[in-house]
Amino acid sequence: MTLKEIAAEAGVSPSTVSRIINSPDDSFARKEVRDRVWSIIQKHGYIPNQNARKLKLGQSGGTQTISGSLAVVLGRGENLDDNPFFAQVARAIEQEALSLSFPVSLSYSIFAAIKSTINANLPDIQTDGAIVLGRLTKPAIDLLARRHKTIVYVGRNILDVPWDQIICDGYEATQVAMKHLVNNGHKRVAYLGETENETRFTAYQNFVAMHGLDTDRSLICSCQHNGESGYTGAGKLLAAAHPIPTAVYCAADVIAIAALRRFREARIKIPQQLSLISIDNIELSGYVSPMLTTVGMPIIELGNIAVKTLIDRINKRHTIPMKIYLPNTLIRRESVATPHGYVEDYII
Amino acid sequence: MTLKEIAAEAGVSPSTVSRIINSPDDSFARKEVRDRVWSIIQKHGYIPNQNARKLKLGQSGGTQTISGSLAVVLGRGENLDDNPFFAQVARAIEQEALSLSFPVSLSYSIFAAIKSTINANLPDIQTDGAIVLGRLTKPAIDLLARRHKTIVYVGRNILDVPWDQIICDGYEATQVAMKHLVNNGHKRVAYLGETENETRFTAYQNFVAMHGLDTDRSLICSCQHNGESGYTGAGKLLAAAHPIPTAVYCAADVIAIAALRRFREARIKIPQQLSLISIDNIELSGYVSPMLTTVGMPIIELGNIAVKTLIDRINKRHTIPMKIYLPNTLIRRESVATPHGYVEDYII
DNA sequence: AATGATAAATAAAACGATTGCGTAATGAGC
DNA sequence: GCTCATTACGCAATCGTTTTATTTATCATT
């Protein structure tokens, strides 16, 4: 079924049908004609061809708002299932776009699919704008920016780039977490998480150095941000670190949850013998025992801001690249305590 | 940058450029011309307009394979973040599509966005095929089937429909779980999960009836499939059920994990005083304490089969609607035990 | 009844690609 | 040098919409 066929059956011209469909308030054409057209559309379950539509609309991209689709692309290793955090963000974006009754087709796509060079195979994904999440390199984002006409990047702070950025990479979050640990009297805190090119790790190292905490190499345990890796990582940490740390900083909640399990198996009491803190504040972190102390980002707001910024930019409401910082908040729960024998003397 | 402009700059016709780009093995035109065109494409970072492309290709839909995009749509309430199970499935689909080097733009879209009737606002999402997941009604799926040219539905068994179905709705899974409980000597098992229009609940009820288990209304506690709801649900169950059940069946792992927490607060030992079993086998279920006994579906295979079936159908390798059943497997871990004082006498 | 003014409907030209068909160029064979 | 087969390329129609400019219908006014 095409618009033309509908028109023919209704005995009007294609343009009339098009206008009837697209007039925002139901005001176009005589009511009689309008009703006839709508009923024919209904009868056939006609749906306009979006490709044709976007093709045509793409041209008149003047005052026009977005013509149709918005993508969310995740960095390599940031998988929706490995780490629920990203699923939450994606969801928040989805919600927001919807609430603006914004014509949205949210599409996640993994980076691997499109990192191939242009001439290898010309890529398929193309939208009006994209929200890019995760640990990506500048050239990678550049490539994406070329494909999607405009992007906003959510993640670490990248200097001197022409896109909008929403900074929430965990540097500050790590500081908040570490500070909480130190304020509770910890001086020997281990690291469990990604170490390669990971802001949270850098932040940990800087913090440790700056505050004169213990720096044994054995306190650092590299693992990926998922349950399995966190579990085995926690085991390795236990084996390697002597003396045992009084606290461990996990770069993600999923790691912490799995580590919890591992420590329990080793009969280590959390938080009495070992404190645990992490980052993300995924839902489940509040439903394990002990409940995780973690530092969370305002995910809903993150979603809001990301899509608003994107739409704003597409509509050319702003043209210079913006950098927006989001606050981190400490969620005090049960997994952090004062180390045994600690005397309060050291508050940052 | 359009193809025409590239052509102009290269001093060839648009058709030539098109053919150079699209020839599968790099064999079209003289090498000299070909290289010139490619270098101009590179220079400008030209990317073909996918809308135009699909518009044109949609027509010649003969031997042609898919022209570009595949959607994954989730039922209302099946959110990626509420329940990691769906994120895992989505991921599996993504992986599989990718591994077939299939031109895929995976797009999740929540049902709310498109359930509006056609004439309310004409929808935007349109792909070659969609994989539809979750608890949806037949008319809803019908609507989707109209939008996306072909679909495969993953979920409960729906009778007499023209689409392909992959059945994994948990009826059998529930039976497996309940049977395990009964085999361990439980006769009084509570239900925690969705009750409205939910196959798992029906299965629970049928099983209870068929095996003469306790049927107090107080054993049934309705809650949604997320952590918060599971936590409060577990609390309500504790308050309502007298005497306390010896086991509880949770309709999803996330519920069970949250319930675990709630029971611990009530100083109920799992599994010594109360057994817990659930469905999904999300990653984290293996990393809480006690580790959850759960019944899982073969998620990876589910992804494989879903995309293969879809592609197959798009390419008209099969035309009758297929129904594929996926096996459920019991993952025995730590949350189920024999009730106190039980004497083995009753094995199904 | 004739005239404007306004509203309703249409014709036709895009949008940016693909592709069947046709023609020009190339080279081989005699 | 002429023909024929082959290869390389261009023409132009087309996909299903939207939209500008134009024509046609409607209706109140004088």
In DSSP terms, B129 is beta-bridged to B70, B150
* For residues A164-185, average pLDDT: 92
CB A162 within 8 A of CB A314: no
Instruction: Provide the pLDDT for residue A105.
Output: 52
Residues A288 and A87: their CA atoms lie apart, in Å, by 19
Instruction: Provide the pLDDT for residue A86.
Output: 76
Instruction: Provide the pLDDT for residue A63.
Output: 32
Decide: residue A26, CB within 10 A, 0-12 exposed, 13-18 middle, 19+ buried: exposed
DSSP string, A32-56: HHHHHHHHHHHHHT----HHHHHHH
* B320 within domain boundaries: yes
Chain C positions with an atom below 7 A of a protein C-beta are 8-12, 14-20
User: Any idea what DSSP says for residue A197?
Assistant: T
Contacts of A49 in chain B (CB under 8 A): 55, 58, 126
* B126 and B21 inside one domain: yes
Strands B293-296 and B329-331: antiparallel
* A114 and A226 inside one domain: no
Q: Where are the beta strands (DSSP E) in chain B?
A: 70-74, 106-110, 129-133, 150-155, 164-167, 189-193, 220-222, 247-250, 275-280, 293-296, 323-325, 329-331
Q: How far is the CA of B30 from the C1' of D1 (A)?
A: 28
Query: Which candidate from A49, A258, A286 shows the least CB-CB separation from B287?
Result: A258
For residue B57, give the H/E element and its range: helix B50-59
**CA torsion sign, B312 to B314 to B320 to B322?**
positive
Instruction: Provide the pLDDT for residue B120.
Output: 33
Residues A260 and B289: their CA atoms lie apart, in Å, by 8
* B333 within domain boundaries: no
* B154 and B20 inside one domain: yes
Residue A188 has pLDDT above 90, yes or no: yes
pLDDT category of residue B126 using cuts at 50, 70 and 90:
low
List CB-based contacts (under 7 A) with strand C: A 11-16, 19, 29-30, 33, 52, 55-56, 58-59; B 2-4, 14-15, 18-19, 21-22, 48-49, 52-53, 55-57, 60, 64
Decide: residue A30, CB within 10 A, 0-12 exposed, 13-18 middle, 19+ buried: exposed
* A341 within domain boundaries: no
Q: How far is the CA of B10 from the C1' of D7 (A)?
A: 20
Sorted by sequence, the CB contacts under 8 Å of residue A72 that are 6+ apart come out as: A90, A93, A106, A107, A108, A130, A131, A132, A133
As given in the structure block, the two tokens for residue A235 are 């085991």
Residues A282 and A86: their CA atoms lie apart, in Å, by 9
Q: What are the tens digits of pLDDT across the range B291-339?
A: 999 999 888 888 889 988 888 887 777 888 999 988 899 999 999 999 9
The residue in chain A having the minimum alpha-carbon distance to the alpha carbon of residue B299 is: A81
Instruction: Specify the pTM.
Output: 0.72
Interchain CB distance below 8 Å, B283 and A45: no
* A235 within domain boundaries: yes
Q: How far is the CA of B48 from the C1' of D11 (A)?
A: 21
* For residues B210-238, average pLDDT: 95
Residues A186 and A76: their CA atoms lie apart, in Å, by 34
* A334 within domain boundaries: no
Interchain CB distance below 8 Å, A283 and B82: yes
Sorted by sequence, the CB contacts under 8 Å of residue B164 that are 6+ apart come out as: B151, B152, B153, B309, B310, B313, B321, B322, B323, B324
* Amino acid at residue number A134: G
Interchain CB distance below 8 Å, A124 and B80: no
% of chain A with per-residue pLDDT over 70: 80
Q: Best interface-test mutation with A: which of B23, B80, B262 has the largest number of A CBs within 10 A?
A: B80
In chain A, DSSP finds a helix count (H) and a strand count (E) of: 11, 12
List CB-based contacts (under 7 A) with strand D: A 1-4, 14-15, 18-19, 21-22, 46, 48-49, 52-53, 55-57, 60, 64; B 7, 11-16, 28-30, 33, 52, 55-56, 58-59
As given in the structure block, the two tokens for residue B33 are 């011309």
Please report, for residues A78, A124, A222, A253, B294, the alpha-carbon distance to residue A250 in angstroms, rounded to integers and kept in the order given. Answer: 16, 37, 10, 7, 27
The residue in chain B having the minimum alpha-carbon distance to the alpha carbon of residue A38 is: B119
User: Who wins on pLDDT, A149 or A241?
Assistant: A241
Contacts of A21 in chain B (CB under 8 A): 122
Residues B307 and B319: their CA atoms lie apart, in Å, by 16
* Residue nearest D20, CA–C1′ metric: A15
Sorted by sequence, the CB contacts under 8 Å of residue A83 that are 6+ apart come out as: A225, A226, A252, A254, A280, A282
* A70 and A146 inside one domain: yes
How far A8 CA lies from chain B's nearest CA (Å)? Answer: 19
Q: How far is the CA of B52 from the C1' of D10 (A)?
A: 21
Closest nucleotide relative to residue B19's CA, C1' based: C18
Residues A239 and A230: their CA atoms lie apart, in Å, by 14
Interchain CB distance below 8 Å, A80 and B103: no
Please report, for residues A106, A127, A201, B74, B107, the alpha-carbon distance to residue B113 in angstroms, rounded to integers and kept in the order given. Answer: 10, 18, 39, 11, 13
Residue that is written with structure tokens 């590179």 in the block? B42
Q: Best interface-test mutation with A: which of B38, B50, B72, B121 has the largest number of A CBs within 10 A?
A: B50
* For residues B81-86, average pLDDT: 68
Instruction: Provide the pLDDT for residue B319.
Output: 82
Instruction: Provide the pLDDT for residue A288.
Output: 94
Closest nucleotide relative to residue B59's CA, C1' based: D15
Mean pLDDT score across all residues of chain A: 82
* B95 and B176 inside one domain: no
* B276 within domain boundaries: yes
> In 10 A of CB B279, how many CB atoms?
27
* A90 and A100 inside one domain: yes
Instruction: Provide the pLDDT for residue A221.
Output: 97
* A14 and A149 inside one domain: yes
How far B194 CA lies from chain A's nearest CA (Å)? Answer: 19
Query: Which candidate from B103, B108, B125 shows the least CB-CB separation from A124?
Result: B103
For residue A116, give the nearest of A148, A144, A145 by alpha carbon.
A144
Residue B277 has pLDDT above 90, yes or no: yes
* B270 and B182 inside one domain: yes
* Amino acid at residue number A69: S
* B160 and B221 inside one domain: no
For residue B260, give the H/E element and its range: helix B253-265
User: Any idea what DSSP says for residue B245?
Assistant: P
pLDDT category of residue B87 using cuts at 50, 70 and 90:
confident
Instruction: Provide the pLDDT for residue A98.
Output: 63
* A277 and A187 inside one domain: yes
* A17 and A118 inside one domain: yes
User: Who wins on pLDDT, A50 or A98?
Assistant: A50
Instruction: Provide the pLDDT for residue B115.
Output: 35
Interchain CB distance below 8 Å, B106 and A107: yes
Residue A34 has pLDDT above 90, yes or no: no
CB A265 within 8 A of CB A71: no
For residue B99, give the H/E element and its range: helix B84-99
Mean pLDDT score across all residues of chain B: 82
- For the domain that residue A114 is a member of, what is the CATH number? 3.40.50.2300
Contacts of A42 in chain B (CB under 8 A): 118-119
* Amino acid at residue number B348: I
* B157 within domain boundaries: yes
End position of a domain, from candidates B252, B281, B296: B296
* A187 and A286 inside one domain: yes
User: Who wins on pLDDT, A277 or B59?
Assistant: A277
Interchain CB distance below 8 Å, B108 and A106: yes
How far B210 CA lies from chain A's nearest CA (Å)? Answer: 34
> How many domains does the structure of chain B reveal?
2
Interchain CB distance below 8 Å, B123 and A264: no
Q: How far is the CA of A15 from the C1' of C17 (A)?
A: 23
In DSSP terms, A130 is beta-bridged to A71, A151
CB B321 within 8 A of CB B161: yes
Residue B216: CA count within 13 A, CB half-sphere: 14
- C-alpha angle B27/B31/B35, rounded to 5°? 105
Closest nucleotide relative to residue A58's CA, C1' based: C15
* B343 within domain boundaries: no
% of chain A with per-residue pLDDT over 90: 42
User: Who wins on pLDDT, B16 or A343?
Assistant: B16
* For residues A289-305, average pLDDT: 91
* Domain limits for position B197: 170-296
For residue A279, give the H/E element and its range: strand A275-280
